[in-house]
Every structure is written in C-alpha cells, then in structure tokens.
Structure 1
C-alpha cells in the first residue's frame, strides 16, 4: 500500500471526478468507497470518500462540502514522453469545461490543476549548454499547451 495518498476535497461531485479521471488514465480503477451513514442523515447512502488509482498512483476524494476549494497551489503532474501523449492528456483533461492556463498547465472542470509535462523538455532545460537550455525555456514560456517540436527547434537554434 502507498504510504502517502493525496486527498482531493470536493463538494458533492467526487464520484463524478473519480469516474472522469479513471476513464482518462490507463491502469486506473476504483479501489474503495465509504458512504455517509447515520452521522449525516441528509447525506446517508451518498459517497463520502472514494479511493482510486490513476496509472498505479493512489488518490482519495472526499465529498466534504463547500467549506474548502481546490486551488492551483497544488497541481498534479502528468509526465509524457511524446507529443501524442501530451495531446491526449491535454485534450482529455480539458473535456467538459476545463481551462488551459500557461506553460503546460490547465485546470480541469473540477478545479484541479494539472501540468501536462513533456519529459524531453525537462531534459532540454537541464542541458549543460546554458544557451541551448535558455532558448528552450524561452520558447516554452510563450506556450499554453506545450509543443515538443517547437521547443526542440529553439533548443537547436533554428
């Protein structure tokens, strides 16, 4: 069992979020649910928590109510090796009302912030040639959805 499990607070739509996320990521599944009981008669029988896996990583949703909101101060990073992966996750996570932000960040329809991160860009940013790395970073900073080929051209000085 995973020692640390991120918990995402929702206001009644946690089950919808779990269904949305598990439909996007491979090797994903619902692993456990807990329903409200007699302690809250108005919500009795409705989802209180759900534990689920996205590509093997465990998460929990809590239908805690309107007291707290998800903010971009915490984001989930999706690492990608290819532009096809970037395009897939970007498009899927935006479905149903998500909003693109900047530099590979987006907010999904539930308010959760995601970073769709092409690992080839990270490797360019870490290159020992500071000028090449700086050109790559400058190109990326102008983007909303990240484009590996465009950043690679800047990296190569084209």
Structure 2
C-alpha cells in the first residue's frame, strides 16, 4: 500500500502544493464561493483506522451507545499505486458521535491494528451500566481483560468503570484505597460491591 497516495487522495499530502500558485488560488476562490467551511465543534477528534466498511463500524458502535448518530459518510476512489501493485479500489470515511464526542472512522485496509496504548474510559453511573457496556463490548468477538479493561470486536480497548471507583481509589482513608486497589487486580469486569 502506498500511504502517500492514500493521504494525498483525501487532501492531507503535499503533492498539491507543487502545482502552480495560480491554480491553487483559483481553486480556493471557487471553493469559497460554493462551500462554507464546517464550523469546528470539537477541537480534537479521535480517528479510528479499521480494515473496511465504515458504515458497519458505525452501526456496531451505535448499537452499543444508544444516544449516538452517524454524521457523515464518504467513499473515495484510491488512485493507482505507483509501484503497479494491486490495492484496494476505494476507502471510506465516516464521522459518528457517541457520548457527545465525535469519532472519525477511516476504513482503508488491514495495515494498522489497535493496541492497549490507546483506550477509551466509559464512566458508568452504577453497576448495571457497567454490566451493560461490558457485555455489549465483549460480545461477538470482543474479549475481557483485567482490571476493568476489555476489547470490542474490532480490537479497540475500553475501560468500563463505575464513577464511584474513582472515589474509592482516591479516598482519604488508606484502608478504603488499599482494598479498592487490591481487589481491582483480582477482577476482570469491575464489581463495585467487591471494591468497597
């Protein structure tokens, strides 16, 4: 795969900068007449690279996070690769909103995989909510980890945590802190009653 070609296809490469200044000015002038820039609603947006089918990825997450929505979907044709090797004909992007956060989805081939160096913390109001997210994320190919960590079916890591947990591990009472921390290491899904 030629990442430079992929990047330039969505306008993030620098190949366009080598064209004439007049062409760039003309394109900018035309765009300003026909398109108003999208207002920035969120300064930093996590981008999740998946193998394929951005719509299916969004559908999966919206089935778990019920207050979410699909905001955008686009399909782009990949340019031919310079080395002549066959590659994907197209790639897709989507923007979804879950938990009041926008996520970008880039479905562009099996070149990168998730790992635990990035995870998303779900702050749950009670044990029932912990149970719901844990079951939903570990079902259908997801997997349980330790200490409240799990992976969904795409391999993305989540920490499913009751908000009261933070009070326990940061308590001014050393016994409360120590019990909560000690029992955390004995659990997969966090069970609040066993941490208290």
Q: Does the pair score TM above 0.5?
A: yes
Q: Take 2:173 and 2:167, find their aligned partners in 1: how far apart are those partners?
A: 11
- State the SS of the aligned residue for 1:136: helix
Does the alignment pair 1:27 with 2:67? Answer: yes
Q: Take 1:15 and 1:71, find their aligned partners in 2: how far apart are those partners?
A: 22
Give the one of 144, 153, 160 matched to 1:116.
160
- State the SS of the aligned residue for 1:36: strand
Q: Which whole-Å deviations, capped at 9, do the CAs of 1:75-116 have from their partners, x for residues lacking one?
A: 011110200000000001112111001011001110100100
Q: Which whole-Å deviations, capped at 9, do the CAs of 1:13-46 have from their partners, x for residues lacking one?
A: 43322111111113200001111236369534xx
Query: Which one scores higher on RCO, CA 8 angstroms, separation ≥ 6?
Result: 1
* 1:16 counterpart residue number: 56
Does the alignment pair 1:80 with 2:124? Answer: yes
Q: Which runs of 5+ in 1 are unaligned?
A: 153-158
TM-score under structure 1 length normalisation: 0.88
Q: How many residues align?
A: 150
Q: Take 1:142 and 1:129, find their aligned partners in 2: how far apart are those partners?
A: 21
The structure with the largest alpha-carbon Rg is 2
What CA RMSD, in Å, does the superposition of the two structures yield over aligned residues? 1.6
Give the one of 92, 114, 127 matched to 1:48.
92
Say whether the 8 Å CA contact 2:148–2:187 is kept in structure 1.
Answer: yes
- State the SS of the aligned residue for 1:115: strand
Q: Which runs of 5+ in 2 are unaligned?
A: 1-40, 81-86
